[in-house]
Amino acid sequence: MGNEYLKLVGLQHIRTSVAYPQSNGKIERYHRTLHEECLIKTSLINLDDAREQLASFVDFYNSKRLHSSLFYLTSEDFLFDRVD
């Protein structure tokens, strides 16, 4: 992800300690969700199929899936302050 994009959307890239998942709980939880809701339910045929499945899951996760930690909003709605 380019620094220009991060600045554009108001995000900051932060590096954490190697081999210390406790310092990066949010992404570790995302990886668990990705595994539970996508990877173990999908048979990946090849690399192109894997890329397509992951892109589809990321789109679903960010634009359609409601998150209890975000007051049951989607990530996009929360990020762009789109509250009904």
C-alpha 44: how far from chain center: 19
pLDDT at 76 (0 to 100): 94
Q: Tokens 């949010």 correspond to what residue? A: 26
pLDDT digit string, tens, across residues 27-43: 889 999 999 999 999 99
Domain ranges for the chain: 24-80
The strand ranges marked E within the chain are: none
In this predicted structure, what is the pLDDT of residue 45? 95
Assessment of whether the complete model's pTM goes beyond 0.85: no
The pLDDT score that the predictor gives to residue 41 is 92
Residue 48 near residue 55 (C-beta atoms within 8 A): no
CB atoms within 10 A of CB 22: 8
10-residue mean pLDDT profile of the chain (84 residues): values are 84 84 85 95 94 96 95 94 80
Select from 81, 24, 73, 33 the least CA-distant residue to 57: 33
